Structure 1
Amino acid sequence: MPEAPVWTLEPKWDGWRCQIHTAGGRVWSRHGTDLSAAFSDVAAAAVALPDAVLDGELVAVLDDGSGVAFDRLQSRAGRRGPRRGADFTVHVALFDVLAVGDTDWRPRPYAERRIELLRLLEDGPATLRAVPTTQDHGQALKWIGALAGVEGLVGKRTDGLYAAGLASGWVKWRERHTTEAVVIGVTGTTPAAQALVLGRPTGGRMRPVGVSLPLTQPVRLAVAPLLHAAGEELRELSGTVGGLPGAAPVRFWPVKLEVVVEIEVDHERLEFGRYRHRPRVRRVRGDLTPETLEEGH
């Protein structure tokens, strides 16, 4: 994480990135999808703010006070607003200003945009709030454990201009976790693209939980001699199980369930039966067998 005084840190929430157009009460995804109907409660709340374009994160705050739940946001897909009996409320953690009225604020320094964001949200709806910021590393790290739903930190230069995508200059730091998984297959047509299909025991059987990132050369050389083919035909894995919603199925060569690997994930628990983001394989766990892994995760 950056430590120079010119940097400020804020929590990275586990939600959906969004852009809010307050004047028209519109909510857009980072890919340009109009979410205004599905999040009509957010759109209605945004109208109470001054005319502006704001950048933030949709988060599902559980009513029991236990934190936020990413999977609840998906329950809004295809719906028009809140569902009767839902156990959460959608909030927006706002962190930037792109425009105010007809004025483009993107060329202005982040420090100025932050002040304007706080002004715009003053006395606004309780579900639309600015993320906290700090230049104290100790305070920022405490957010990881103390605020449920914070999956990491984002560093921003106080003198930085607003830029889209990879040009933003933001530095992201994500908390990582390690666990074990069984190798159930291999995918990838070239050595540089080879990845492992991973499984975990659930309900008395081995179920696929994800596809790893491409293997590093040391890991590939260590795991290859240990794998033995389980048939001569390619199999298919749903793109969603592979952590790629909407993607084509992943074709892979099945292997015998003999090898356990240590993997690095950004969420300890499975989501919809798989890891949301592709795990990184760290090493072979020769001291473990598939039978030693506990069910569930």
Structure 2
Amino acid sequence: MDQMQKHGKRAGVKQKRNVVLPFFMGALAFICCYPILFLMTGSLMGQGEAAENLRPVFSGAEGFASWSVLPFQPTLRSYVELIFDTPDFFVMFWNSMKITGGILLGQVVFGIPAAWGFARYRFRFRRSLFFLYIVMMMMPFQVMMLSDYLVIRRMGFMDTMAAIILPGIFSTLPVFIICQFFKEIPEELLEAARIDGAGEGNIFFQIGLPLGKAGIISALVLQFLECWNMLEQPMAFLKTPSLWPLSLFQPQITAETAGAAFAASVLALLPAIWVFLAGHEFLEQGIQAYCGNV
């Protein structure tokens, strides 16, 4: 009888857990997704409605900003004005594409071979150098800003896209993530390839890259998300507005341009969402490798 009561209590606890846990996770998911819903709602509001709701924020008037889940009169006017009447948006959009593409291309050229070297070769000071990589990976941009500024200014790259692209090319995070995947390749497989007469280059391209594809893609996805949204680097190294990326377009918000700013935020979010959805499976593997080795 006691066992039946214990079994009944356990079943009741399990049933409550099955009800409470999904509700709790759903609430957290809604909280995380609410900013996106906020942006989409604001982008569909008319100029007068958005300005009226946010007037206390921009004008310093008394009271609090108000918001509604659905616009009172939905309109695509903000998107039309942004696409057809705001050429600066497209200039900044393509600047972001150039900066992000240049950084990712450089990391493919330099970061992947560096990760392969750390993972598969034994050389002097390898551990010390890799430890230095990890230390640099942990440092925020604010710590490295002064040294980066001095080097970039000495090289004559201030106020050019190279001031953003070159430091990003040699970011240490992709090397660390890709290296963990390269280390999982069995050494016996590489030795068999060498016995068959394969050179080191063939081993890298025909064995290393295919087997390390998950780590490479996950690292590139993470770097895309970071580079696409970078803010402090352009503010520190770029002074000419025509060179600014899209991330610097967002702060230019007033009560009269709030709708266009919301629409710009939604359009700027679309590439990041697409890249995330395309590589989220590999991204999960990369995060697991990162968390398991830090």
**Superposition TM-score tier, normalisation by shorter sequence:** under 0.3
So what's the TM-score if we normalise by structure 1? 0.21
TM-score normalised according to structure 2 size? 0.21
Which is richer in strand? 1
Structure number with greater CO (CA < 8 Å, separation at least 6) is 2
Work out which of the two has the higher radius of gyration on C-alpha atoms and give 1 or 2: 2
